A and B are shown apart, each in its own frame.
Chain A
Amino acid sequence: MKPTPSSHWQDRDFPAAAREVLEDSQTRSNVRHATNVIQAKRDAVTGELPDWEPLRDAGAAIRAHSLAHLDYYLVQFEQACTRAGGQVHWARDAAEANQIILGLIQRHHVDEVLKIKTMTSEEVGLNPYLEANGIRAHETDLAELIVQLGKDKPSHFVVPALHKNRMQVREIFQREMHLPELGERPEDLAAAARSYLREKFFRLKVAVSGANFLIAENGAVCIVESEGNGRMCLTLPDVLISLVGIEKVLPRFRDLEVFLQTLPRSATGERMNPYNSIWTGVQQGDGPQEFHVVLLDNRRSPILGDAESRQTLQCIRCGACLNACPVYHQTGGHAYESVYAGPIGAILTPQLHSMEEGRSLPYASSLCGACYEVCPVKINIPEVLIHLRGKVVEEDQKTLSGRFGMWNLGMQTAAFLFASASRLSLAQSLGRVAQKLVVNKEGMIEHLPLLLSGWTQTRDLRPLPEQSFREWWAERTLQTDAARTDSGAGGQATGRGSSHGE
């Protein structure tokens, strides 16, 4: 068996990757347009529901409950799904998931499979792995098709090609589908995708999907989609393989009554997306007669053990936090250099990599809280971001280079100075002398040196004032005391009088 190609995302830190995107005005305008449109639609359809907040409360509580008893519900799902004719597989990590899926495909001697958009398969790098083993996976979601044919990467997990406009999509389709005459209207482009894929839907025997929800009580799987490509893949092939993160389980079928309200409204700003499919195992005479669920851990289980960040796994992948985030709005998804972008990506990615990758992501936020406000399952993303920043620092301090690095030494020094009034005042006096070197003619500081230079990268700084607040207060107290001593008993009488109203 060939090894899994490592993630095709590079490992640059967020500021470096963001800088590149910020120079691409076309991408920025595409991202801005798309996120503005979804945001406005989302606000309208969530605002019209008088029970939106109770729905969020219920959604958060159901997800938290499912996670708190995840082992119980997963076993229940496994039993119910198996009883209904499905086969359940367990994958500890990406490599194991890929091997299981490849093995299942190879049993049917095919070299092409259908794919429904699944971020989980992106997470494990399934497509390149299959490719390396001689199997071509055809993405069937319009946006994923654009990304695949354009040899690009998804930038949003609901609308993966939102960084491309119609002209760019046309170019890709003209080239890859050999359609030189193709028009640029979205209708033309969708029609091209329809005819390109239709023959594949009818011909191919094996499909790979993700899932939005698993239902423990009856072993059902639920997929929410728009185009019908999902239904094609779930219904027409002989064999269906669904790769699903272990966290996606819900206790009961009726819990969907909450999420099928909150997910579509949050994700695409629609009251309901065109199609939701729910099926249980194998149904004679309807749909694939061989059905597999591959349950993927891939470092999700350790997240359960962290009380503060466990809520990360409540996520239902609606993408509302991406659209609401002022940082994502500017940079788009690629700057995160991760399968999962935006605020949720900033907390999920580093944890899925045991804090070894994506360490700059918890800092890719202004902590404004817009993500928390729109989250349909109330994940307190800012809280988790701060928690993870703490972890990044703690981990850093364990290494020699981290301990003696500029940041740590600078912060330790700051802690030492701020811990004592006299040390702070001494530092301020020294600062007042030293800053003479950097204050410009207008009386502002344009560039701070060394470690502090980041602070003045995008803003000017006011210099330290001649007098600190403490100094001013001490001086004022001295003067008042002197005045009180001068006026004698009269001052005290006034003091009593002023407290009369209490």
Chain B
Amino acid sequence: MESNFGARNAILGAIRSALGETQSAERIAAEYAALPRGYKRHGTLPEQERLRLFQHRLEEYGAGVRRVASDAIGDGIRDEIAGRLAARGCKRLVIPYGLPKGWLPAGFDFEPYGGNGETGVSLGPTALNRMDGVLTGCTVAIAETGSIVLQSGEQQGARALTLAPDYHLCVVFAEQVVETVPESFARLDATSCLPTTFVSGPSATADIEMTRIKGVHGPRFLDVLLVG
């Protein structure tokens, strides 16, 4: 038997006897709905200010941010990607298998990852570690906290993808950037069962004398292309 029912029932019994009476699901739902939610649930900034805030907060974490005009979608993104990769000295990159082909500039090796055998390969962590970097999109981004949110799937890949390589380049579109944390959850709610990672700057630690040091185990370098 996998789980020990004795312990389960003993714990649930102890909780019930400590709490006293148990409520119906309807009562609990009604009580939950009445919980105070007086905090800010919607942003108020106009779009350009919101994007500037996002850029500023990311830069404070030590991430690089490049703005790309929205009318340049297509060649613009591809050229910017080429520029960033060249500047970072990256040649071989892993990409989620569903990344738009139009983003990929010539002159670099892109290894599609995941999906079925035809769409991409599955690399072990050691192979991923040998990659120069990873290029992805995102699901949503948060201006107030300078965060990008990745969900497992075609454009953002399995979680290991954005973890083992030392460099992460992430393409974020203006309409993906919300101002507040609650707005990001409103967008994530429908896909909340997918593996989800909030990334706020490159990996860091402050464990030694509270000095923030970039880059411990996750990617040490993070660039964001902000389109729009």
Interface set of A (CB-CB < 8 Å, partner B)? 30, 33-34, 37-38, 50-51, 54-55, 57-58, 61-62, 65, 68-72, 74-75, 84, 87-92, 96, 100, 140-143, 146, 159, 161-162, 164-166, 169, 186-187, 189-190, 193-194, 197-198, 201-202, 215, 218, 220, 226-229, 231-232, 234-236, 246, 251-254, 256-258, 260-261, 268, 270-281, 283, 285-287, 295, 297, 301-305
Contacts and interface: CB of A to CB of B under 8 A. Distances in A.
A254 B204 contact: no
27 contacts: A54-B38, A57-B38, A58-B38, A62-B35, A65-B32, A69-B28, A71-B22, A72-B22, A90-B8, A141-B207, A142-B208, A142-B216, A159-B207, A164-B208, A190-B215, A198-B217, A235-B158, A268-B206, A272-B146, A274-B203, A275-B200, A277-B197, A278-B197, A280-B195, A283-B194, A285-B122, A287-B159
Contact of A228 (B28, B144, B182, B216): B216
Contacts of B31: 65, 68-69
A268 B204 CA distance: 12
Contacts of A72: 22-23, 25, 28
Interface residues of B, number: 78
Contacts of A74: 12, 15
A246 B15 contact: yes
Nearest to B200: A272
Contact of A295 (B11, B158, B185, B208): B11
B2 A274 contact: no
B37 A58 contact: yes
Contacts of A55: 39
A164 B35 CA distance: 42
Contact of B193 (A84, A201, A260, A271): A84
Contacts of B192: 215, 218, 220, 253, 278, 280
A474 to B, nearest CB: 52
Given A62-B35, A257-B185, A302 B14 contact: yes
A80 B12 CA distance: 17
B16 interface: yes
B125 A271 contact: no
A61 B186 contact: no
B196 A277 contact: yes
B213 interface: yes
Given A272-B198, A287-B160, 14 more contacts: A54-B38, A65-B31, A71-B16, A72-B22, A162-B210, A166-B208, A215-B192, A226-B205, A229-B217, A257-B181, A271-B57, A278-B192, A283-B152, A304-B19
